[in-house]
A and B are shown apart, each in its own frame.
Chain A
Amino acid sequence: MNDISNAQTTIGASVQNLRERFIDRAYHQAQELDHLLGQLEADPSDQAARASVTSIVHKISGVAKTLGFERLGILAHEAECDLIAQGNQTTADTTVIAFEKVEVLIEELDSVIAS
Chain B
Amino acid sequence: MQILIVDDDDIALDLLDSALRGAGYTDLTTAMSGAEALAIVEATETPFDVFLLDIQMPGIDGIELCSRLRAMPEYESVPIIMITAMQERHYIEQAFAAGAMDYINKPFDPIELGVRIGIASRLSRQAHRVEEYATEAAILKARTGVGASFAADEPITIRDVPRVIGMTAMENYLLRLNYWMTINSKSVVFSVVGFRLIHAQTSPSDLYDVLSDTACAIANGLKHTKHLVTYVGDGKFVAVVNGRNATLDADTLLAIQSELDQCPPILSSGLEYPVQLNMGAVYTPSILSVPNRLNLLLGPQQLAPGTNQPRERKPTAA
A residues touching B (Cβ–Cβ < 8 Å)?
3-4, 6-11, 14-15, 18, 21-22, 25, 55, 58-59, 61-67, 73, 77, 80-81, 84
In this assembly, does B14 line the interface, its C-beta being within 8 Å of a C-beta of chain A? yes
When A10-B18, A18-B11, A18-B14 are in contact, do A63 and B23 touch as well, CB less than 8 Å?
Answer: no
B107 interface neighbour in A21, A55, A59, A73, Cβ under 8 Å? A73
A10-B18, A18-B18 given; A64·B12 CB < 8 A: no
Q: CB within 8 Å of A: which of B5-56?
A: 9, 11-12, 14-15, 18-19, 21-24, 54, 56
Bound state CA distance, A10 and B107, in angstroms? 18
Cross-chain contact B11 with A11 (CB below 8 angstroms):
no
Q: Are A25 and B88 touching (Cβ within 8 A)?
A: no
A-B contact count (CB 8 A): 72
Distance (whole angstroms) from the CB of B279 to the closest CB of chain A: 35
The residue that A62 contacts in the complex, of B18, B23, B85, with Cβ under 8 A, is: B85
Other A-B pairs beyond A9-B22, A63-B12, 12, CB < 8 Å: A4-B111, A7-B110, A8-B111, A14-B18, A15-B18, A59-B9, A59-B11, A59-B12, A61-B85, A63-B11, A64-B107, A84-B88
Could you tell me if B24 and A7 are in contact, using CB atoms closer than 8 angstroms? Answer: yes
Q: Which of the four size classes fits the interface of chain B?
A: 20 to 34
Instruction: Write the residues of chain B forming the contact surface with A, with a CB cutoff of 8 angstroms.
Output: 9, 11-12, 14-15, 18-19, 21-24, 54, 56, 58, 84-85, 88, 106-108, 110-111, 114
Task: Report the 10 A-B pairs with minimum CB-CB distance, sorted nearest first.
Answer: A65-B107, A14-B18, A10-B22, A7-B22, A66-B107, A11-B22, A62-B106, A62-B85, A61-B85, A59-B9
A65 to B15, CA, bound (A): 12
Complex alpha-carbon distance, A27 and B84, angstroms: 23
Could you list 22 examples of A-B contacts with CB < 8 Å? A3-B23, A8-B22, A10-B21, A11-B18, A14-B14, A15-B18, A18-B18, A21-B14, A55-B56, A58-B56, A58-B85, A59-B12, A61-B106, A62-B84, A62-B85, A63-B9, A63-B107, A65-B106, A66-B106, A77-B85, A81-B88, A84-B88
Once bound together, how far apart are the Cα atoms of A3 and B25, in whole Å?
12
Give Cα A84–Cα B106 distance, bound, in whole angstroms: 17
Contact call B9/A66, Cβ cutoff below 8 A: no
Q: CA–CA, A27 to B222, complex, Å?
A: 48
Q: A63: which of B15, B21, B22, B114 is its contact (CB, 8 Å)?
A: B15
Complex CA–CA separation, A50 to B207 (angstroms): 51
Decide: A14 near B12, CB < 8 A? Known: A62-B85, A62-B106, A65-B107.
no
Contact B111 A66 (CB under 8 A): no
Query: Does B106 contact A7, Cβ atoms closer than 8 Å?
Result: no
**Minimum CB distance partner of A54 in chain B:** B56
> With A and B bound together, what is the CA distance between A21 and B106 in angstroms?
18
Smallest CB separation, A76 vs chain B (Å): 8
Closest B residue to A9 by beta carbon equals B22
